[in-house]
């Protein structure tokens, strides 16, 4: 979640407060942002781009492993003849 989304989330939560909480809104806004940033940091989340890059790397690695397994099988078959 980027900073823009955190700000939007904080604003949505603040909109739920009564108008009389006006003076405390900035303090609450900062508290909400700090809390959310800390919670998200502890979750060890990755971006979609990072996830897609790792998924592509895993797919290439799997293809290479499949080719190597086939090659080993061919070599074992040739050695047993």
Taking the domains of the chain in order of start, what are their residue ranges? 1-45, 47-81
Q: What is the pLDDT along the chain (81 residues), one digit of tens a residue?
A: 565 677 787 778 777 777 666 667 778 777 877 888 888 788 888 888 999 999 999 999 999 999 999 999 999 999 997
Report the predicted TM-score, pTM, of the whole model to 2 decimal places: 0.51
* Residues contacting residue 27 through CB under 8 Å, at least 6 positions apart: none
Return the pLDDT at 67: 98
Return the pLDDT at 78: 93
């Amino acid at each position: 979640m980027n900073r823009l989304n955190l700000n939007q989330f904080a604003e949505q939560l603040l909109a739920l407060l009564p108008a009389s909480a006006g003076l405390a809104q900035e303090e609450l806004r900062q508290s909400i942002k700090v809390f959310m940033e800390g919670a998200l940091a502890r979750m060890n989340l990755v971006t979609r781009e990072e996830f897609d890059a790792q998924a592509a790397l895993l797919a290439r690695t799997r293809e290479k492993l499949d080719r190597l397994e086939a090659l080993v099988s061919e070599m074992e078959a040739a050695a047993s003849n």
